Amino acid sequence: MTPAYQLILAPLRGVTIRTFRAVFAPLIRGAGFTEAVTPFITAAPGYDPLKDRETAGGPGEGGILVTPQFIGKDPKALRHCLERVKAAGFSTADLNCGCPFPMVRNKGRGSGLLRTPDVLVRMVETGCEVMGDGNFSVKARLGIDSPGELLSLMPILNGYPLRFLAVHARTARQMYEGECDRGAFDEVLAVARMKVVFNGDARTGERIAGVAGVMVGRSFIRALGERVDIEEWLGKYAEASARELCGERPVLGRLKELLSYWKDLPAWRRRWQVAKLARNLRELQIA
């Protein structure tokens, strides 16, 4: 049964990946998360999502629901991917309409879908048809340049039986800077006929009136950096990554990606200056 108010682990590319979710599972569950949305999987012609690392743990890894998120603009490719994950036991899936990076949105993917309503409609139709009513969700930004762009699309999205609409309360142009626009978010919430999940600077214990839950990423990751036992967890993460990846350099890169979220924390400011220059795992451990 889906909880009345959900706490969902947000997809952070390179960070909330399958290995991270497996190693940190006790802390993820302990924080109250009941679901994790995977960093996006490309819905491309001929691609088998079951060969992607993100689906390797199955739909219930770590004791929480895992929802694979797909990015793309090809409805046929999306259909193929969804049929594959559904056959493998995944009951839910998500469409990325929020990735803000220019190299993605300029190709009409991620937040770029907000500028092509006809493509967005076909993608959402495909998702709801394959996964079934109430099993397909959409994660979006308020817009690309204007926070009213998503609002203008709500009459279209309201016509589909979405599981929920997760809204990052910033525009794509903002990336992750500046304040979230709660006013624009409330306008979307007021007209939405589906459940709405808030995303954007939310915290694990935060409650927002009128929403079905919150999707939390960066604040949870930052909180991990403040744990007194974090070095023990980092060691486990490094070991698990070494078993998965080939060679030391990709493991080093993965660890630095996580550590970069802590660079502004008092306990990590000086450490990060040394850690970011580490050339191998030994140097990183010393840092």
> What percentage of the chain reaches a pLDDT higher than 90?
94
Do the domain assignments include residue 241?
Answer: no
User: Mean pLDDT in the chain?
Assistant: 96
Distance CA 193, CA 19 (A): 36
Same domain, 265 and 131: no
Token pair recorded at residue 170: 């910033």
Find the CATH number of the domain harbouring 42: 3.20.20.70
Instruction: Please indicate, yes or no, whether residues 82 and 187 belong to a single structural domain of this protein.
Output: yes
Q: Say if residue 1's pLDDT is above 60.
A: no
In this prediction, residue 250 carries a pLDDT of 97
Q: What average pLDDT does the segment 217-240 reach?
A: 97
Residues 176 and 76 in one domain: yes
Is there a domain that residue 1 lies in? no
Q: Using 50, 70 and 90 to split pLDDT, how confident is the model at 287? A: confident
3-state per-residue secondary structure call for 2-56: CCCCEEEECCCCCCCCHHHHHHCHHHHHHCCCCEEECCCEECCCCCCHHHCHHHC
Say yes or no: 125 and 259 in one domain. Answer: no
Rounded mean pLDDT, 229-254: 96
Task: Examine residue 261 and state whether it is found in any structural domain, yes or no.
Answer: yes
pLDDT at position 7, please?
97
> Do residues 81 and 210 both lie within one domain?
yes
Question: Are 66 and 128 members of one domain?
Answer: yes
State the pLDDT confidence band at 2, using cuts at 50, 70 and 90. Answer: low
- Model confidence band, residue 171 (pLDDT cutoffs 50, 70, 90): very high
Predicted TM-score (pTM) of this structure: 0.96
Quick one: pLDDT at residue 49?
A: 97
Q: What is the mean pLDDT of residues 99-119?
A: 97
Q: Give me the domain span that covers residue 257.
A: 246-286
Residue 270 lies in a domain: yes
Lowest mean pLDDT among 116-130, 166-180, 195-209: 195-209
How confident is residue 4, by pLDDT bands cut at 50, 70 and 90?
Answer: confident
24-33 pLDDT, tens digit per residue, is 999 999 999 9
**Domain annotation covers residue 235:** no
Decide if 234 is inside a domain. Answer: no
DSSP at 61: G
Q: Is residue 233 part of a domain?
A: no
Q: Are residues 131 and 191 in the same domain?
A: yes
| Better-predicted residue by pLDDT, 3 or 47 | 47
- Asked if residue 230 is part of any domain, the answer here is no
Burial class for 177, CB neighbours closer than 10 Å (0-12, 13-18, 19+): exposed
Indicate the number of domains in the chain: 2
Is the predicted pLDDT of residue 87 greater than 60, yes or no?
yes
Domain identity same for 77 and 151: yes
> Do 59 and 149 fall into the same domain?
yes
Residue 77 sits in the same domain as residue 143: yes
Do 141 and 191 have their domain in common? yes
Pair 38, 106 in one domain: yes
